[in-house]
Amino acid sequence: MVTAALNALGRPFAGIAPERRKFITLVLLTVVMLAFPIVHDNDGDIDSMANAMSYATLALGLNIVVGFAGLLDLGYAAFFAIGAYYYGILTSFQVMPEWSSFWQPFAALGLVEKMNQGGPDLVHFTLSFWLALPTAALVAAFFGVLFGAPTLRLRGDYLAIVTLGFGEIVPIVARNKSDWTNGAAGLNGVQAPRLFGWSFGVDATPYYYVGFAMVVLLIFISIRLRDSRIGRAWMAIREDETAAAAMGVNLVRFKLLAFAIGAAFAGMTGVFFVAKLQTATPEMFGFPVSTMILVMVVFGGMGSVWGVVLGAAVLQLLQSWFLKDLTQWINAFGDLVGSAWLRQVDLVQSIELIFGIILVVMMLFRREGLIPAMAKAPPLNMAAQTANVQRGGFTGLERIGRWQPAGGNALEVKGVTVKFGGLVALNAVDLVVPDGGVVAVIGPNGSGKSTLFNVITGLVHSDGGSIRFHGAELLGLAPHEILEAGVARTFQNIRLFPNLTVLQNVMIGEHARLHAGPVASVLRLPGTRREEAGARAWALDIIGLFGNRLTPRIDQIVSGLSYANRRRVEIARAIATRPKILLLDEPTAGMNPAETLELAEQIKSLHELGLTILLIEHKLDVVTRLAQNVIVLDHGEKIAEGLPDDVRRDEAVLTAYLGRTAQAAHAGVANG
């Protein structure tokens, strides 16, 4: 219904191009926001708006952690507290060490003043608000890394509870360490910001403009990060950590980065909030505050930049404007009908109840929030949906270049053993893949084929042996380092990033080959811009290999694709990593015979370009068509190796597949 109403409103503007419409909306919004304090000269309302802005910046910060990277942080207010106390302590009269010559250089920089209140000379900290904003961001980011580092290995729900623990510890420390914070009574005499000698004082208007500038800046940073290599890596972690690592994302670095940037936003907001309020008490930063910010993010839409800003604004203004008015109306109505209960109702008091209801209702009925992070792609027309089976391998291969096999062996697996408790999944397996060759691994279910792939790509630890790739040892490397070395894989049960588009999935494959860091992504200088354009072009080239199977669907969410198309996206994502060897785990599983043939020929055409391939496959005709050498695994041991046709007639292989008695009866059937 909301959508219908919005569509009706938008109809007169349908003639304007979407990009232009967006630009005009932004300009109008900015003008309205800038004019608000001038037009509406009510200090209380301007103050409410300034508060709403500080909650919007908090929501933007939490959105990076929860919405982008999927790390549920229930103690986010701790970083808000750190920023607040950092500025509060360094501008108030709370902490005043004795003066010594050590402080002289700081005094010269204007950071401290010498004071005398009778007795020895004391140090009064006088950190400027404008210097405090960026430095508080750094301090909070440091604590973000400090709190984040030990928790990164934890699963999502454990992470939530640990952050909750940290979130409780910080206010308790603030309460108990009263010589620094004045405990529960709160810091006194926090200085208002000054600009060219003019103090902001207690008037709300200057804070409104500073808050607005912060919101604009943080929206800008959030959007730039979201649409970059950094944002894609975060979303990959959110969607599937294992697949993200296998696609080259350094989990530790990118989780810490999300924690640090989220914390930095909160630290800055803490400075702003305390400067505006000119006091700080431990109660301002407890679990209810963390929850309120989470409610704002959930309400607006996790991962949606405009959504969380809207969520924060709506909830904050609901609290300070709407509920007050509504309470007065209900009370007046109570007077009218003579109901004592209605006369006393105070909805402002029940704001937390409303928050609770919002959380539950949103989770049950609208998990994507007010403004969903992912827009729905328009449905395809019939022509775009119709795909014919393509014969003769990939088209458009000339655009992706050739591999130049150097000869020798690409991959050498020697004596690799993997144990799960008492079960030996792989027992001293040897395997060689020549550079430029295609080797297939076959074997009954549970024979250790996928474990072999997992140990090569660093997803499981080995209990001995060695895996050399172009001479360098892979064992002991993290999955992302193995991908960087040039080993890319697909998964037997397809591990795409389900809520991202086809294009995003394939571009995440390029992660390890791109270089833009967080700063470059925010500034988006020409070099970064070129890199992004190149990354997109490369992804489109690879998607284009599959003809019109995927190209019309680049903006569709992959979880809505057909099974075969999801397999294709996964293969495209692996090719996008620019691998030196491609590990395909049952690439044709679940495909019909025509699709199987199509894909087999496509894989063959990659081989003809010089790409080295290691393949797990059940369909023997595919193996025969592609592989130069076949390895047979059974119960974790290599039982045979050789040319496809020889392996098919091998005694041990027939026994493994068909059983000893069945073998006699079906000896002639096995070559089917």
| Per CB under 8 A, 263 contacts another protein | no
In b/e form, how buried is each residue of 514-526, taking b as 16+ CB within 10 angstroms?
Answer: bebebebbbeeee
The number of CA neighbours under 13 Å toward the Cβ of 363 is 8
| Rounded Cα gap, residues 89 and 186, in angstroms | 11
What is the smallest separation between the CB atom of 459 and another protein, expressed in angstroms? 11
Q: Which of 41, 43, 283, 352 binds another protein (CB under 8 A)?
A: 352
DSSP string covering 221-256: HHHHHHTSHHHHHHHHHHH-HHHHHHTT--HHHHHH
**Per CB under 8 A, which of residues 128..167 are in contact with another protein?**
150-151, 153-154, 156-158, 160-162, 164-166
Element (H, E) at 624: helix 620-626
Q: How far apart are CA 148 and CA 155, in angstroms?
A: 13
For the CB of residue 475, give the shortest distance to another protein in the complex, in Å: 22
One-letter identity of residue 255: K
User: Which alpha helices (DSSP H) does 152-280 contain, by range?
Assistant: 156-176, 178-181, 204-226, 229-239, 241-246, 251-277
Residues 6+ apart with CB under 8 A from 163: 72, 73, 74, 75, 76, 147, 151
Here's the x/- map for another protein, 51-80, by CB under 8 A: it reads as: ---------------x---x-x-x------
Work out whether 401 is an interface residue with another protein (CB under 8 A): no
To another protein, the closest distance from the beta carbon of 542 in angstroms equals 28
Dihedrals φ, ψ of 639, to 5°?
Answer: -105, -15
Q: Which residues of 412-451 are buried (b: 16+ CB within 10 A; e: fewer)?
A: bbeebbbeeeeebbbbebebbbbbbbbbbbbbeeebbbbb
Residue 359 contacts another protein per CB under 8 A: yes
Work out whether 173 is an interface residue with another protein (CB under 8 A): yes
Q: Which lies closer to another protein via its Cβ, residue 326 or residue 359?
A: 359
Q: Does 199 bind another protein (CB under 8 A)?
A: no
* Candidate segments 113-121, 124-132, 362-370, 389-397, binder of another protein by CB under 8 A: 362-370
- Candidates 348-356, 415-423, 564-572, 589-597: pick the segment binding another protein (CB under 8 A): 348-356
Q: Does 179 interact with another protein (rule: CB under 8 A)?
A: no
Q: How far is the CB of 74 from another protein (least distance, A)?
A: 8
| Piece of the chain touching another protein by CB under 8 A; list 10-18, 109-117, 347-355, 404-412 | 347-355
State which of residues 45, 168, 463, 621 lies at the interface with another protein (CB under 8 A): 168
Q: Among 298, 584, 614, 631, which residue sits at the site for another protein (rule: CB under 8 A)?
A: 298
User: Do 617 and 600 touch, CB atoms closer than 8 A?
Assistant: no
Q: How many residues bind another protein (CB under 8 A)?
A: 40
The least CB distance from residue 585 to another protein, in Å, is 17
**Which of 93, 106, 142, 287 is the binder for another protein (CB under 8 A)?**
287
In the set 110, 356, 408, 476, which binds another protein (CB under 8 A)? 356
Q: Which helix (H) or strand (E) holds 299?
A: helix 287-300
| Among the residue ranges 43-51, 360-368, 399-407, 644-652, the one whose residues contact another protein (CB under 8 A) | 360-368
Cα distances (angstroms) measured from residue 13 to each of 9, 22, 32, 262:
8, 11, 19, 37
Residues 329 and 92: their CA atoms lie apart, in Å, by: 42
Residue 560 engages another protein in binding (rule: CB under 8 A): no
360 binds another protein (CB under 8 A): yes
Is residue 16 a contact point for another protein (CB under 8 A)?
A: no
Minimum CB distance to another protein smaller for 77 or for 522: 77
- Residue 105 is encoded by which pair of tokens? 């250089």
143 vs 657, beta carbon nearer another protein: 143
Return residues touching another protein (CB under 8 A). Answer: 66, 70, 72, 74, 150-151, 153-154, 156-158, 160-162, 164-166, 168-169, 172-173, 175-176, 287, 291, 294, 298, 349-350, 352-353, 355-360, 363-364, 367
